């Protein structure tokens, strides 16, 4: 066995094998020291009956090499296949998705010639926890999970990344005007951690105007950190306005493993034609070389790539109808320019790693302090969700009031979050899914799970079908649940 750094490589689906072959060839000619270990993932594996899209041997390779260069894969539509990308990110704890977005104007045409922004996307939580349920014939839910340790990790990563890369500003995007608890926690953690980096400027935008600003004035941003779903959308907007989805690469970083890829998909519409742009995967590979301690090779490739563009050699997605070359010819053109530097673009420069250069995070203060933490969690009530398509809100309310006590009293009924009892409006549209909120009765001092179980039994006996409950808690006396709209 050689001493070269082993990395796991997946050639993927669609255009994946073409762009991977081109990328590996460039790496080899540039003198990158690595040994690829190929695994099969994706469509072939799904269709062979592995519903996760990855085999045990592939996991074994990933856990051993800890570095993964991955081509895009095709997730078969329907059939309940889980996204393999999400599975890999979460299983290997790749909590940070780093997506640099840079303008290469005027060669890659864009209305925004001066952009150099990095999106740091939380990669494991949020709606991508993938916890979904159908609760009634009319209603499905997807649980949005935002955790304090997860938020602390990604926000700290963004600030450390900014510090190590001489970035001046870190911006946070959330929707905490609406999701006050979940996005509110992310924003709060951002404000807390920002205090530790007084030299870095910070700001916060509500996600909708934030993404609009990326589309309109992206040059105003430097590093932007955000929860998973927003990061997914914002980074595609950023890539698209800069001219081609075929160019940007991305790194998925965890405490132990890392995965590098292009941001685009498997492009089945052009697969097998030999015309795909390998640049997105090549940029992923450049980030990988920096990660495994070969920054000078990364620099050589990046500069040869910039020079290739400067010399007017493009694939079809960039040429946009003008003269273009195929995937292989493009790779050959980059190889021919290894050792050259661009004259119009700023040359790329990656410094040799020194001690402490990796963004290695301290354990979150919360996790560190878990044993000593004094948080009093007090049961304050319960939301009982019921299926009902027979009686009105008033009738349901009166029925529940009659069986609530003595420990509990009915506070409110909402439908899709808005109050319908007491004093609901006839204009409010309702579905078959009702949230009935009970609080501790006046004069009662303590509520227990047994009280809630007794309540559920009475609800059952009254012929009302409850479908789930959510306990309502206070944490150190502070309400840990949102009020109903109109409560």
Q: Which is nearer to ligand NAD, 317 or 383 (CB)?
A: 317
CB 289 within 8 A of CB 348: no
Q: Which is nearer to ligand NAD, 150 or 246 (CB)?
A: 246
Q: Which is nearer to ligand NAD, 47 or 462 (CB)?
A: 47
Q: Which is nearer to ligand NAD, 19 or 331 (CB)?
A: 19
Q: Which is nearer to ligand NAD, 92 or 469 (CB)?
A: 92
Q: Please, what sign has the CA dihedral across residues 165, 171, 173, 174?
A: positive
- Nearest approach in angstroms of CB 433 to ligand NAD is 31
- Nearest approach in angstroms of CB 467 to ligand NAD is 32
Backbone φ and ψ of 156, nearest 5°: -65, -40
- Nearest approach in angstroms of CB 469 to ligand NAD is 36
Distance from C-alpha of 322 to C-alpha of 179, rounded to nearest angstrom: 47
- Which residues are within 8 A (CB) of 341 and not within 5 positions of it... i.e. 6 or more apart? 303, 306, 307, 347
Backbone φ and ψ of 284, nearest 5°: -60, -45
CB 440 within 8 A of CB 408: yes
- Which residues are within 8 A (CB) of 206 and not within 5 positions of it... i.e. 6 or more apart? 173, 174, 175, 176, 177
Closest CA to 10 of 26, 24, 27: 24
What six digits make up the tokens of 79? 């059939």
Strands, sheet with 96-102, edge to edge from the N-terminal-most edge strand: 34-39, 5-10, 67-70, 258-262, 249-253, 96-102, 116-122, 223-226, 169-174, 201-206
- Nearest approach in angstroms of CB 27 to ligand NAD is 17
Residue nearest to ligand NAD (CB): 265
Q: Which is nearer to ligand NAD, 250 or 364 (CB)?
A: 250
Distance from C-alpha of 483 to C-alpha of 487, rounded to nearest angstrom: 6
Q: Which is nearer to ligand NAD, 51 or 465 (CB)?
A: 51
Closest CA to 205 of 172, 182, 162, 228: 172
Q: Tokens 């998973």: give the residue.
A: 228
- Nearest approach in angstroms of CB 250 to ligand NAD is 8
- Nearest approach in angstroms of CB 99 to ligand NAD is 12
- Nearest approach in angstroms of CB 34 to ligand NAD is 21
Q: Tokens 């990855």: give the residue.
A: 54
Q: Which is nearer to ligand NAD, 158 or 239 (CB)?
A: 239
Question: Which stretches of the chain bind ligand NAD, using CB under 6 A?
Answer: 15, 19, 72-75, 85, 245-246, 261, 264-270, 276-277, 280, 317
Distance from C-alpha of 471 to C-alpha of 481, rounded to nearest angstrom: 9
Q: Which is nearer to ligand NAD, 81 or 481 (CB)?
A: 81
DSSP assignment string, 239-295: HHHTT-TTS-EEEEE-SS-EEEEESS---GGGTTTT----HHHHHHHHHHHHHTT-H
- Nearest approach in angstroms of CB 311 to ligand NAD is 19
- Nearest approach in angstroms of CB 243 to ligand NAD is 12
For the chain, the C-alpha Rg in angstroms (whole number) is 27
């Amino acid at each position: 066995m050689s001493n070269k750094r082993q990395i796991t490589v997946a050639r993927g689906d669609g255009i994946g094998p073409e762009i991977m072959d081109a990328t590996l060839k460039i790496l080899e000619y540039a003198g990158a020291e690595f040994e690829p270990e190929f695994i099969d993932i994706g469509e072939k594996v799904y269709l062979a009956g592995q519903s996760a899209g990855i085999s045990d041997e592939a996991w074994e390779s990933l856990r051993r090499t800890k570095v993964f260069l991955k081509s895009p894969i095709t997730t078969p539509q329907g059939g309940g296949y889980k996204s393999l990308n999400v599975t890999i990110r979460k299983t290997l704890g790749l909590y940070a998705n780093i997506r640099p977005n840079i303008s290469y104007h005027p060669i890659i045409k864009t209305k925004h010639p001066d952009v150099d922004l990095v999106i740091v996307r939380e990669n494991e939580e949020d709606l991508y926890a993938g916890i979904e349920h159908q609760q009634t014939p009319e209603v499905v839910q997807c649980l949005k999970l935002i955790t304090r340790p997860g938020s602390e990790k990604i926000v700290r990563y963004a600030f450390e990344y900014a510090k190590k890369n001489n970035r001046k500003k870190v911006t946070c995007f959330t929707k905490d005007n609406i999701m006050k608890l979940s996005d509110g926690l992310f924003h709060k953690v951002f404000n807390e951690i920002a205090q530790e980096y007084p030299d870095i400027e910070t700001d916060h935008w509500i996600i909708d105007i934030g993404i609009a600003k990326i589309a309109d004035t992206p040059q105003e941003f430097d590093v932007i950190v955000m929860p998973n779903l927003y990061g997914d959308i914002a980074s595609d907007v950023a890539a698209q306005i800069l001219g081609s989805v075929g160019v940007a690469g991305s790194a998925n970083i965890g405490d132990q493993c890392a995965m590098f890829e292009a941001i685009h998909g498997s492009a089945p519409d052009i697969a097998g034609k030999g015309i795909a742009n390998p640049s997105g995967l090549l940029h992923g590979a450049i980030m990988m070389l920096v990660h495994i301690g070969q920054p000078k090779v990364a620099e050589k490739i990046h500069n040869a790539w910039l020079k290739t563009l400067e010399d007017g050699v493009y694939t079809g997605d960039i040429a946009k109808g003008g003269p273009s070359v195929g995937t292989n010819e493009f790779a050959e053109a980059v190889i021919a320019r290894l050792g050259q530097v661009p004259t119009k673009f700023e040359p790329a420069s990656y410094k040799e790693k020194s001690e402490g250069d990796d963004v290695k995070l301290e354990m979150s203060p919360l996790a560190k302090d878990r044993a000593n933490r004094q948080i009093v969690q007090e049961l304050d009530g319960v939301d009982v969700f019921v299926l009902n398509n027979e009686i009105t809100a008033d009738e349901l309310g009166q029925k529940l009031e009659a069986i609530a006590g003595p420990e509990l009293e009915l506070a409110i009924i909402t439908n899709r979050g808005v109050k319908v009892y007491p004093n609901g409006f006839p204009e409010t549209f309702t579905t078959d899914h009702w949230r009935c909120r009970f609080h501790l009765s006046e004069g009662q001092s303590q509520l227990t799970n047994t009280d809630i179980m007794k309540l559920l039994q009475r609800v059952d006996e009254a012929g009302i079908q409850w479908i789930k409950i959510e306990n309502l808690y206070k944490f150190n006396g502070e309400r840990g649940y949102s009020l109903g709209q109109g409560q």
